[in-house]
Chain A
Amino acid sequence: MSSDYSGDAGSLANTMGRALLGAMLALALALPAAATGTEPSPEMQADMSYKDMAGMMGMDDAAAFGKVMLDQLEVEAESDHTLFSWDGQAWYGSDYNKLWLKSEGSPNASDKSDARNELLWDRIVTRWWSVQTGVRYDFGQGPARGWAAAGIEGLAPYWFDLEATFYVGEEGRTAARLRAERDLRITQRLIVQPEFETNLYGKPDIARQIGSGISDLQLALRIRYEIRRELAPYVGLAWRRDFGATAQFARDSGAAPGALLWVAGLRTWF
């Protein structure tokens, strides 16, 4: 409240001057009012809570909103088979605090199926960044794994959407995930989106065929056409590579540790 007022010298002379002016004005205002004999003091609306007032005006600037985004609903063409995957998120909440749900995975034949799901509390902490804390749950290939999650998400200079999250799991497991993407407009509706993502693990998880260190890395370039903002089919090229023990696990199971793939899919939100 007080910061709404800038400095007021408040010297004695000023105060007296203003008092005098105030008195003169009061008199000036009183005279015509007396002459016309009207204009009583308005009846002030009684004080009420912000919620009540916002309800009356229909204007609540603290209201919650929500958004569901399916960034990638994707098919990738490998030489011998087709792989489906999804990557999406949803949020609900106010300007300052939101509940986030992130989900990514591929619902394929058992040995390839995999999913990462996170439920996070998102709290904005700076003008461009928020802190996200919560839980992560992986299932699919091998035993399911639960994690505690903490990270940051925001918009970096040059319009990069960045996510960096650290995870602590059972039996001393740790992990980290980094993701960056941005939009490059070819036209108002034709948009190229480069994406970078990598996963790191503190120790191997043999049951899930994951080695320690940098486990995998993905670089993708998707080009979408926004039929409308909320509906954009895309095609793209994705380069994925497993590293270290993760790559070895892949080789052992007869798969290539790296691949360059065509992808196609749909980006949608509401």
Chain B
Amino acid sequence: MSLVSTRRRFVQGVTSGALLLAAAPWSAPRAASQAAVLSGTEFDLSIDALTVNYTGARRTATAVNGQLPAPLLRWREGDTVTIRVTNRMPVPSSIHWHGVLVPAEMDGVPGLSFPGIAPGETYVYRFRVKQHGTYWYHAHTRFQEQTGLYGPIVIEPRGGESYRADKDYTVVLSDWSDSDPEHLFATLKRQSDYFNYGRRTAGDFIAQARRQGIAATVRDWAPWEELRMDPTDLSDVSAATYTYLMNGATPARNWTALFSAGDNVRLRFINASAMSFFDIRIPDLGLTVVAADGQDVDPVTVDEFRMASGEVLDVIVKPKADRTYTIFAQSMDRSGYARGTLTPQAGLQAEVPALDPRPLVSMADMGMSMGAMADMPGMADMPRQYGLGVDMQVQMPRPKLDDPGVGLRDNGRRVLSYADLHTLGGPIDARDAARDIELHLTGHMQRYMWSFDGRKFSEASPLQFKYGERLRLVLINDTMMTHPIHLHGMWSELEAPDGTFQVRKHTVMVQPAQRLSYLVTADALGRWAYHCHLTYHMAAGMFREVRVERL
């Protein structure tokens, strides 16, 4: 029926779904595998509206130089780069260099770093590139990242790449909606489960009761009902509105990367989505992770890994000469996927795996003990410590760095967890933290309020860091959602549960009921953003200013 076929087109996109733009010369169709690349030390970027068509409907996106994703910027470690960004839209805009350590006024957060880029104006970003690896850039104004303003950055190391690769591709994952993001956000405020078409039904109850008996099923369902929480609450926004893109290509359009016999292929995965977690694998191919968030790690080979919005992971694969592979990135809620193809010959494609079954969050995932469940009514109106924008607090937060996360445990594949990541060379600063700052990640799904410590950005004072100090940020996730927490301007050096250095990140994924900590050296003066990288959580208040000052 038409409903079904419409739906399929929605999720997969239309095959001919190329970017459409009349005027700009750079919009000429290009082969899917060749991302537009700009390299050198001088760059001119122009932000403008772009007409796109991913689902059969024409929509207006936000693009850079007529490209979505924005062009790949290739820099060299140690160079000073100058990037002139011109805003050709009728509304203000900005570009933030995600994970790149720059002086505060170059960080691109309007209101904190600079006033933003007014319509028709050009802002000149100029800074010395002090690091190497894979990063990305995106708008930090309103919802322009959701509508397409994101692109990859590859910074070549001074001493050459540590890992030999014959082919090198950036793989930018994103989530496109034909709906205006203003409408998506307002919809979440009006009905927060609007996009969740995976809720438990009467049929699920009956099926479970047949398997486990009625008593056991009631025991499983009752705590959720009592808490007014939903075990299917994995992603606020789903493929009900999103089409997932790989390098700007819908699954139907099938982004393709070519390799030759014997090649080592480096794939630089960037999760540039507004709201999505992707579980990525290439069936029948081991993925050797060599860098996380741009930082080289001890190589570790896995079958699959999860990436939160904002995270970056470099893998090296060695495909067999004679076959074609699918790069499969399913959303955490299993509502849809992005995919591409890795092949020795253009035009071939491999089987696309079925989506995994949709996982359910368990009470244990939420840090609730069995004893606690017996005491549920008391818990439902827990201490008012964190105010009215909080629907739950976990009782037993755990570090669980070795937990790949809901839906990835015991799936028969070797799945990466943070415990597998070890940044080469140890921490940037050997000092222990002189003090701890503990922050709870808090929220209220029904009211669609998100915050740190129950206080939205508008209700909170900046976090004060003393210039030069080494401090520990302890994050406790009191919500049932996973949150990617991104600190601008400084590294987040994640600790193992025993206090030893684990991995250096710019975006740290915090699972429900997880308690993790990382060390930060406050070596960057100025005002910085610190926030959940899920766009609508940030807009709803899960954002803080960090001030690094000489105190």
Contacts and interface: CB of A to CB of B under 8 A. Distances in A.
Interface stretch (A43-51, A77-85, A196-204, A244-252): A43-51
Interface string B439-477: 100001011010001001110110100101110001000
Main secondary structure of the interface of A (DSSP, over half): loop
B115 A61 contact: no
Interface string B112-133: 1111100000000000100000
Interface residues of B, number: 75
B44 interface: no
B299 interface: no
A44 B527 contact: yes
Interface stretch (A101-109, A110-118, A136-144, A179-187): A179-187
Contacts of A35: none
B434 A48 contact: no
Contacts of B382: 127
Nearest to B376: A157
B199 A126 contact: no
Interface string B177-189: 0000000001001
A3 interface: yes
Nearest to B434: A18
Contacts of A22: 466, 468-469
Contacts of B388: 96, 124-127
Contacts of B543: 59, 61
Contacts of A254: none
B189 A65 contact: yes
B453 A4 contact: yes
Interface string A47-79: 010101111111111100101000000000000
A58 B456 CA distance: 15
B166 interface: no
A200 B533 CA distance: 50
Interface stretch (B34-42, B208-216, B220-228, B248-256): B220-228
Interface of A: 1, 3-6, 8, 14, 17-18, 21-22, 25-26, 29, 38-39, 41-45, 48, 50, 52-62, 65, 67, 95-96, 124-128, 155, 157-159, 184-188, 229, 269
21 contacts: A1-B461, A6-B438, A17-B434, A18-B434, A21-B470, A42-B525, A44-B527, A53-B111, A57-B109, A59-B457, A61-B456, A61-B543, A65-B189, A124-B388, A125-B388, A128-B380, A157-B227, A185-B200, A186-B201, A229-B194, A269-B190
Interface of B: 92, 103-106, 109-116, 128, 140-143, 186, 189-191, 194, 197-203, 225-228, 377, 380-382, 384, 388-391, 431, 434-439, 444, 446-447, 449, 453, 456-458, 460-461, 463, 466, 468-470, 474, 523, 525-527, 538-541, 543
